[in-house]
């Protein structure tokens, strides 16, 4: 059995693999780039090795550097996770040539399934149904035009070496073919270094259903049933579930049997996924599904399969890579209940799903997470910083129910109690998807989100209003120490006025809770106080930062200001001035460490340092005056 493992990945999948390793007593080694120095996966590993600069090609995609890190840390094996180098046959070869165990399928299997045209040819030979299309070597415009006419429009252009939704173009009519073909080839060359394309008949209302397969080095292969991954935006999965809704027993058997047949045809070892495109305009039947591709790695959505089959697929990977046989036979793998996974991303659905980066001020459950029906896979915590150079997914929420209705109800409720503040988040969007009739009824398809417009992507105005009102209630409910600080709205010779000023972003206003107009169908806002003047509020999964304007400080700032204050609780790690020093506006006078980051504090204006109240190494609260200025 493997005794030490380097994980050539980051984020939640690295943390997930470490969890199984801890249970098996396997030592773990993390790798990290400059952007991930303080990352959660680095903190949780037994050892961590720096592998380069923040851009992935200079770190997580640098095969030579990762192999060097494995040698330096004296591990037995390398697990690639998913993404990055996980389906790179050259990396698999490099690992084995270095005398290390590769936790994944053999490089020739990765090669054979990595090229879509070759994979479909192998699937056809194995008797697996494949969509009509063109997968030939001739790539000239005339040939592709003739083949497109034979297939019929609409159709899809797909990069032969593609993945992740890249190199795919929809062609609705013949006049669009030349332009879309040029665009697809250009993107394929940039993304994969291979501009070859294939043509495929378009299923206009597609569902995406995949089968988890597993093989060992002894000729055995099994399936662990199917997952439905049809809820997608821009060909990226959003919510996945197991089993697929509306799946008849005979179709399940045919799809799973075909997947095992393909796995055996390529001598598959380890975890793999056989993906099918399904005609969602019709009920599931034996003639409504076709082979799409095979992913030669662990999938992001593998936890839903683990929940409904009671397995640990990472443990299976490690055991099979160590030379063991599959731990379970097909007849002993049972399907139980229903599981749904939602991908938590630092992105703004209302702005075209624009990825976000920065400091996470608050992240996590505002309710009990100890229930056995909740799975929480996170690569970040409060106080971590989301880099701008990697994928936007930061966590996965997985829920289980005895049936699909119970699982979805639990998903909706749990998302309402999940808070993400400091970076854009998609939690409210996920909840609106799960609450939609089409999803509840299981009739959604790959294009469904795009068809909904702003309905799902934009948070209701009522959610922000309810969040603001919740903070007003907190502020007005505070008791004062004197008659002058009691917030009861008392006015001499006049009716009480219960108003308070709060701000969301740059928008500040006075609010009266009596005018709240919050409807009963809005989820109860959940308030977390970040500091005396800042509150994180979550309503229906949508989180906002509500602040109390500091008018006195703003006025002082307009005048230049005489004080340099701690912007948040933290540690003083540098003091650059002393009393009597002359400083210029913008000059760094002190440096603090807070939220695992360094913060330079600068002079608000030209002046002379009157006093310094910042002791090196001291912990200081938010608002502490560290340096005071006097006029020149």
DSSP structural state of residue 195: -
The number of angstroms, rounded, from the C-alpha of 130 to the middle of its chain's C-alpha atoms is 31
Catalytic residue selected from 10, 135, 227, 297:
297
Q: 268 in the Ramachandran plot: left (φ > 0), alpha (ψ -120 to 50) or beta?
A: beta
User: H helices within 78-164, ranges in order?
Assistant: 89-97, 107-114, 116-125, 141-151
Q: Which two tokens stand for residue 621?
A: 């609260």
CB neighbour class for 441 (10 Å; exposed up to 12, middle 13-18, buried from 19): exposed
**What are the C-alpha distances in Å from 126 to residues 123, 257, 259, 270?**
5, 11, 10, 20
343 assigned to active site: no
The C-alpha torsion from 247 through 248 and 253 to 258, rounded to 10°, is -60
* Number of neighbouring beta carbons within 10 Å of residue 176: 14
Cα dihedral 75, 78, 84, 88 sign: positive
Tell me the three state secondary structure of residue 247.
coil
596/51 Cα distance (integer angstroms): 20
Q: Which residues of 29-65 are buried (b: 16+ CB within 10 A; e: fewer)?
A: bbbbbebbeebbbbebbebbbebbebebeebbbbeeb
Q: Which two tokens stand for residue 623?
A: 């608002």
**What are the C-alpha distances in Å from 198 to residues 140, 147, 149, 248, 301?**
12, 10, 14, 32, 27
Pairing of strands 47-52, 27-33: parallel
133/197 Cα distance (integer angstroms): 11
Catalytic residue numbers, as ranges: 297
């Amino acid at each position: 059995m493997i005794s030490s493992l380097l994980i050539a990945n980051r984020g939640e999948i690295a943390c997930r693999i470490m969890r199984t390793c801890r249970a098996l007593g396997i030592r773990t080694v993390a790798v990290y780039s400059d952007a991930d120095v303080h990352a959660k996966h680095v903190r949780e590993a037994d050892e961590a090795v720096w592998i380069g600069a923040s851009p992935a090609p200079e770190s997580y995609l640098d095969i030579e550097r990762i192999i060097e890190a494995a040698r330096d840390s004296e591990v037995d094996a390398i697990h690639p996770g998913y993404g990055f180098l996980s389906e790179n046959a050259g990396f698999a070869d490099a690992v084995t040539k270095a005398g290390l165990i590769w936790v994944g399928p053999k490089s020739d299997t990765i090669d054979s399934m990595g090229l879509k045209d070759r994979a479909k040819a192998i699937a056809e030979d194995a008797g697996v149904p494949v969509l009509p299309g063109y997968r030939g070597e001739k790539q000239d415009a005339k040939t592709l035009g003739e083949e497109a006419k034979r297939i019929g429009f609409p159709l899809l252009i797909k990069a032969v070496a593609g993945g992740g939704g890249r190199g795919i173009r929809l062609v609705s009519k013949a006049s669009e073919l030349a332009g879309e073909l040029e665009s697809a080839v250009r993107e394929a060359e940039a993304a994969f270094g291979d501009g070859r394309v294939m043509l495929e008949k378009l299923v206009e209302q597609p569902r995406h259903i995949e089968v988890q397969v597993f093989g060992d080095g002894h000729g055995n292969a099994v399936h662990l049933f199917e997952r439905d991954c049809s809820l997608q935006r821009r060909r990226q999965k959003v919510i996945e579930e197991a089993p697929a809704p509306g799946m008849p027993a005979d179709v399940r058997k045919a799809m799973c049997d075909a997947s095992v047949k393909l796995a055996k045809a390529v001598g598959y070892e380890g975890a793999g996924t056989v993906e099918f495109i399904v005609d969602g305009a019709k009920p599931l039947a034996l003639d409504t599904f076709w082979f799409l591709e095979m992913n030669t790695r662990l999938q992001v959505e593998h936890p839903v399969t683990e929940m409904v089959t009671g397995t640990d697929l990472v443990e299976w990977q490690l055991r099979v890579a160590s030379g063991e046989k599959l731990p379970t036979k097909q007849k002993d793998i049972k399907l139980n209940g229903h599981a749904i996974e939602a991908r938590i991303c630092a992105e703004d659905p209302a702005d075209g799903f624009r990825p976000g980066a920065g400091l996470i001020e608050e992240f996590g459950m505002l309710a009990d997470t100890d229930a056995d029906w909740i799975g929480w896979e996170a690569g970040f915590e409060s106080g971590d910083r989301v880099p701008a150079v990697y994928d936007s997914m930061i966590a996965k929420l997985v829920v289980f129910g005895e049936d699909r209705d119970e699982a979805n109800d639990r998903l909706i409720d749990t998302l309402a109690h999940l808070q993400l503040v400091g970076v854009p988040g998609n939690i409210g969007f996920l909840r609106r998807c799960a609450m939609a009739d089409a999803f509840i009824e299981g009739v959604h398809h790959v294009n469904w989100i795009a068809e909904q417009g702003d309905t799902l992507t934009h948070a209701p105005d009522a959610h922000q209003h309810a969040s603001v009102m919740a903070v007003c209630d907190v502020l007005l409910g505070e008791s004062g120490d004197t008659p002058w600080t009691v917030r009861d709205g008392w006015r001499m010779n006049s009716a009480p006025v219960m108003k308070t000023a709060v701000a969301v972003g740059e928008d500040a206003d006075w609010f009266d809770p009596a005018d709240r107009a919050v409807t009963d169908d809005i989820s109860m806002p959940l308030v977390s106080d970040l500091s005396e003047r800042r509150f994180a509020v979550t309503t229906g999964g949508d989180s906002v930062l509500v602040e109390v304007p500091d008018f006195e400080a703003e006025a002082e700032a307009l005048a230049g200001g005489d004080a340099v204050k701690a912007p948040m609780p933290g540690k003083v790690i540098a003091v650059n001035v002393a009393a009597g020093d002359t400083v210029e506006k913008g000059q760094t006078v002190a440096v603090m460490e807070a939220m695992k980051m360094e913060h330079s504090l600068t002079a608000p204006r030209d002046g002379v340092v009157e006093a310094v109240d910042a002791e090196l190494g001291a912990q200081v609260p938010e608002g502490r005056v560290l340096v005071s200025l006097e006029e020149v």
